Every structure is written in C-alpha cells, then in structure tokens.
Amino acid sequence: MDPAASSRISLVTGATAGIGLAIAKELARVGHRVIINARRAEKLREVASELNELALARFPKSATARVVPVAGDASEHATIEACFDVATRAFGTGHGAGDTPVGIDAVIVNAGRGLAGSVVTSDESQWEEMVRTNLIGAARLMRTAALRMVASADEDAKVGRSWRQHPRDIVVIGSVVGRHVSPFSSMYGGTKFGVHGMTEGVRRELAPKGIRVTLIEPGFVVSEFQGVAGYKDEWFQGVVEKIGPVLQPEDVARSVGFVLAQPSHVHVSDILIRPTRQDYP
Ligand SMILES: NC(=O)c1ccc[n+]([C@@H]2O[C@H](COP(=O)([O-])OP(=O)(O)OC[C@H]3O[C@@H](n4cnc5c(N)ncnc54)[C@H](OP(=O)(O)O)[C@@H]3O)[C@@H](O)[C@H]2O)c1
C-alpha cells in the first residue's frame, strides 16, 4: 500500500547543500509538499528534480510536482515573499479556512553561514554578509512566517476551526555555539546567540496562537559549511579525529522530522544535538 502523504506544505531555505538539503529530502520523503530555496539556481533546480523523482515514486498518485524551487537570497524580502507566493500558486492555500494565502505551514529557517575565527581574529570583510544572512535573514523570514501564520490561525478561529486541527511550525537552525560560548568562533557564535534569543522571543509571542517555534542547535556537522566558513582542511580533520564521527546533515534532518511529526498539542521546542564525543562547546 502507498504511504499516506502528509497534507503539510513546507519551506526550507538553504536547500542546495548540507542540513537544508537533508531536511528537504526528509520532508519530501514523508509527503510534505516543499518549497526549496537557495541562491545557486541551477543546483537548486537539480535538487528539486531529484526530490520530485523520489517523492513521485513514493506517492505516485500525485499528479504535479511536490518540490518546487525558488532561487534567491533568503535574506531579501523579495525572495521570502516569492517563496510564499509560489507555494500558494503551486499548492493552493492548504488547510486555510478563508482566502488568506497561507499555504506554507512549516517554515525551516536554515540558510546561514559560518566564519572561522573569533571577534578578534576573523575576516572582518565577511561580517556584514554573515550578519545579514544569519540574523537579518532569519528575522525577516520569522516575521513573514509569523504574520502569515497568525492571519491563517485567526481565519480558522473565525469559522470555529481549532489550532489543534492545523499544526503550524517555524523551525530555526541555530548552533551549539549560540548557547555555549566558544571563544574560537565568537563572531559566528554571536550571530547564533542572536538567533537563539529571537527564536525564543517569537516562541513566547506565538505560543498562545498554537504556533510552535522551535530551535535546533547542532554541534559539528560535516557539510559545505567548513569550506564556506574558511576552516582549513587539516583543522577540521583534527576535529574529526578527536571527537568523530561528527554529525551528518541527515542526523539533524531527523530531528526536524521528529518535531514536525508531533501531535499539535506537543511542542519539542529546543533540541541540542552533538556528535557523541563532542565535549566542548
Ligand atoms: N555544519 C555545521 O557544523 C553547523 C553546526 C551548527 C549549525 N549550523 C547551521 O546550519 C545551517 C546550515 O548549514 P550547513 O552546515 O548545511 O551549511 P552548508 O552546507 O554550507 O549549506 C548552507 C546552505 O545555505 C545556502 N545559503 C547560504 N546563504 C544563503 C542565502 N543568503 N540565501 C539563501 N541560501 C543561502 C547555501 O546555498 P547557496 O550557496 O546555493 O545559496 C546552502 O544551501 C546554517 O544556519 C548553519 O549556521 C551548521
């Protein structure tokens, strides 16, 4: 028998590599319809077509694409709005009770980058891009998602439909260095401390509406992250030898799947996930 496809519609930013790619794959596997975003348009199209093949093999009754790419910088308003608009056009308004165009009911705020070194030693020319992506981009997406989800929850309430019938989630990928100070990556960690604070703030703001806002904080995960951040191969090899095996992106993706699969009255709001032998930070 075919597995039952989930009725949920997700958005995953940063889905051409690493953790975002693994999350998009996991959500497509359990039957979400998924908008994927990243800046490399060609690579994003390839990911969409690969995931569509997987999803259509699993859910053959689907007539149309289940995974749709929206290329662009996730820290920009225009890209964020395009993700929601494309979702509405591609997948309809989901369970929305009225005409409120809130198709997406699970937003994964993942796009981000690291930076080798501390406040004292890191490459200052990269600070602004990192802060824009990790902090401003995350805030913009959380805000857009929150406003749309609250509007949709209010529409539901008007027609007597409970939030319990329609789970809504914002899941943010922070970092272990956004909870425990690592002096060696304190500039990147600073952005993730900010993400940590914003996410908990939005959780407190949206909880009364039945909207779950979750922070997932991984330790070392092998991905394109190390190259983009500027860590030397020998340094990362040393980390792997000392505390490995380090996490794979799929290890983090399973946590996201776990959070989203909970019944609507259950909120696993914080997950810190490290390689077993990572003692610090
Ligand atoms: N790897 C780790 O050890 C680790 C640990 C803790 C937390 N994290 C966090 O996990 C998240 C994902 O990291 P990762 O390890 O998967 O890194 P990754 O392999 O480098 O992947 C990052 C993804 O984000 C996309 N991206 C970067 N900037 C973007 C932007 N401005 N707009 C849209 N997409 C953007 C990249 O694609 P394009 O280049 O195509 O845009 C790529 O798909 C980040 O928030 C990171 O801080 C990572």
Q: Which pLDDT belongs to residue 197?
A: 98
The residue nearest atom 23 of ligand 1, judged by CA position, is: 14
pLDDT tens figures, 21-74:
999 999 999 999 999 999 999 999 999 999 999 999 999 887 688 999 999 999
Nearest atom (ligand 1) to Cα of 249: 16
Q: Residue 123: how many CA atoms within 13 Å on its side-chain side?
A: 11
- Identify the residue with better confidence: 92 or 261: 261
Q: Where are the beta strands (DSSP E) in 106-244?
A: 106-109, 168-173, 211-218
- Domain-wise residue ranges, the chain: 9-273
Is residue 165's pLDDT more than 60? yes
Name every protein residue with a CB atom under 6 angstroms from any ligand 1 atom. Answer: 13-20, 37-40, 43, 73-75, 110-114, 133, 137, 173, 175, 218, 220-221, 223-225, 228, 249
* Cα separation, 168 vs 170, whole angstroms: 7
Contact present, 34 and 27 (Cβ < 8 Å): yes
Q: Domain 9-273 in CATH: superfamily?
A: NAD(P)-binding Rossmann-like Domain (3.40.50.720)
CA distances from 32 to 24, 36, 47, 58, 99 (A): 9, 12, 16, 12, 21
Ligand 1 pocket test target in 47, 126, 225, 250 with most atoms within 8 Å of CB: 225
Per-residue pLDDT tens for 65-77? Answer: 899 999 999 999 9
- d(CA 61, ligand 1 centre) in Å: 33
Residue 193 near residue 178 (C-beta atoms within 8 A): yes
Q: What average pLDDT does range 131-150 have in this prediction?
A: 98
Let me know: does 139 contact 198? Beta carbons within 8 Å.
yes
Is the preceding omega at residue 245 within 30 degrees of 0, hence cis? yes
Residue whose token pair is 């792997």: 240
